[in-house]
Homo-oligomer: A and B are copies of this chain.
Amino acid sequence: MHFSINTYKYTLKRYSFLLLSSFLLLPTITIAQQSPDPVAEAATVQNNLNIIWTVIAACLVFFMQAGFTLVETGLTRAKNAVNIIMKNVMDISAGGIAFFLVGFGLMFGTNPSSWIGTDGFALIQIGDQREVWGYVFFFFQAVFAATAATIVSGAVAERTAFSGYLLFSIIITAFVYPIFGSWAWGSLFNGSGWLENLGFIDFAGSTVVHSIGGWAALAGALIVGPRMGKYKDGKPQPIQGHSLPLAALGIFILWLGWFGFNAGSTTTGDGSVAKIIVNTFLAGGAGALAAMTMSWVRKGKPDGAMTMNGVLAGLVGITAGCADLNPAGALAAGLCAGVILYLSSGFLERFVDDAVGAVSVHGVCGAWGTIAVALFHPNGLDLTLLGVQSLGVLVAFAWTFPLCYGLFSLINVFIPLRVNGELEEAGLDLHEHDAQAYPEFSFAKQTTS
């Protein structure tokens, strides 16, 4: 406990890191000693504000892990809830440590080739002077990386073994996501990425985070195959989630976290966050409105799960352009994302069993959001930008899908990813964790499909 209260008492004793703050808090004393530069003082305070804003935004993004857990759990069956929870807890626990040891350095380390970072592993090579921002930035980025991984867990839910998934989660967080990230977002320290150098705009990660996660999810869902009972005579059957209230809470938590995700990507505590916040607010609502309207028009009733996923579609759709588009553009991007979600999930469901619609929400709408930056840019349509954005979208797919398809296949050889049919029917919770999510409640229908 440290008291920063300059008129009270000064406990500067043993914490050397407090020296800077005490310097700031005792200016009238200090000024007599060394005449501080007042403009530099203000700049130091602004830098501190940037740190605090980034940390708080990162906390909001961290909380998104709870949102994903609830959405994925709520939209699947009760018998697999503990398994999904465990995957999400370990995505950020083991994944966070993997990103600390390997991923952060690959993504944001010194990048002379523009293709890969080469230092900053375990935050030990970043140097004292860069330590504070290195730490802050690592935390912000680590919770982003966990997001990319957790997208996969939703798509492959209800039939994928824990151990194989855990291995994949660590690999995507340590290697797959960071390497692409280094192309688009470059280095924190020195150097920049080749996509970034072309002028690729993906402010908060429609492509870098969401499409990467979405295409990895597609690969995973294809490798593990559909859940038992998903297809009857080749036609997809609905498998309802066991708790819409948990899923709804998850949606609100994700929306909340997205304000940190998008506006925190400024890493700057100033007016630059204002438009981003408004765009994020409007696009999420527009996505919900569009997806709800589509389901109402096409199926006669406003669908709950589709509306909730519509919020996410709108949010993914504004993530790339949140700092560039105007509010009207954000509304347009969000509305289109809701429509695209509806069409895409109906289409994809015929070929791939994606338990929570993650491929459409994150993969397809992530691509849409990246293109939308060029289409709705306030400066007008710039075909060069459209080309660069499209290139980024294609590169993300070309990097992620084949690589993850191969990775899942390889893991599958050593650690079978698919649990066997009997165990799947009984539920992964019993099989994998010897547990039940709700041991006291009775279940009305067979929860096996």
Contact = CB atoms under 8 A, between A and B. Distances in A.
A269 interface: yes
Given A190-B9, A302-B433, A94 B267 contact: no
A415 interface: no
A96 B435 CA distance: 37
A413 interface: no
Nearest to A19: B272
A18 to B, nearest CB: 6
Nearest to A73: B245
B270 A96 contact: no
A323 B17 contact: yes
A384 interface: no
B289 A244 contact: no
A125 interface: no
Nearest to A186: B11
Interface in A39-53: 39-53
A92 interface: yes
B188 A248 contact: no
B49 A49 contact: yes
A36 interface: yes
B268 A2 contact: yes
Contacts of A301: 432-434
Contact of A77 (B36, B66, B440): B440
Interface in A277-335: 277-278, 281-282, 284-286, 288-289, 292, 299-305, 307-308, 311, 323-324, 327-328, 331
Interface string A49-82: 1111111101110110110011001000110011
A40 B39 CA distance: 9
A261 to B, nearest CB: 11
A271 B304 contact: no
A273 interface: yes
Copies of the protein in its oligomer? 3
A3 B188 contact: yes
Contact of A273 (B50, B52, B252): B52
Contacts of A132: 271, 274-275
A271 B17 contact: yes
A18 B272 contact: yes
Nearest to A64: B252
B15 A48 contact: no
A52 B266 CA distance: 12
B4 A268 contact: yes
Interface string A93-132: 1101100100000000000000000000011100001111
Interface stretch (A136-144, A339-347, A390-398, A399-407): A136-144
A85 B139 CA distance: 33
Contacts of A131: 274-275
A1 interface: yes
Interface string A1-21: 111111111010011011011
B270 A70 contact: no
Interface in A245-275: 245-246, 248-249, 251-253, 255-256, 259-260, 263, 265-275
18 contacts: A27-B43, A28-B39, A36-B39, A38-B39, A45-B49, A48-B49, A63-B252, A88-B248, A92-B285, A94-B289, A96-B281, A96-B285, A123-B278, A244-B435, A244-B437, A299-B434, A440-B444, A443-B444
Given A46-B48, A62-B256, A94-B289, 13 more contacts: A2-B323, A24-B270, A25-B46, A27-B43, A39-B41, A42-B42, A62-B281, A63-B252, A63-B256, A85-B304, A88-B248, A97-B286, A301-B433
List 3 A-B pairs, minimum CB-CB distance, nearest first.
A442-B444, A66-B252, A93-B285
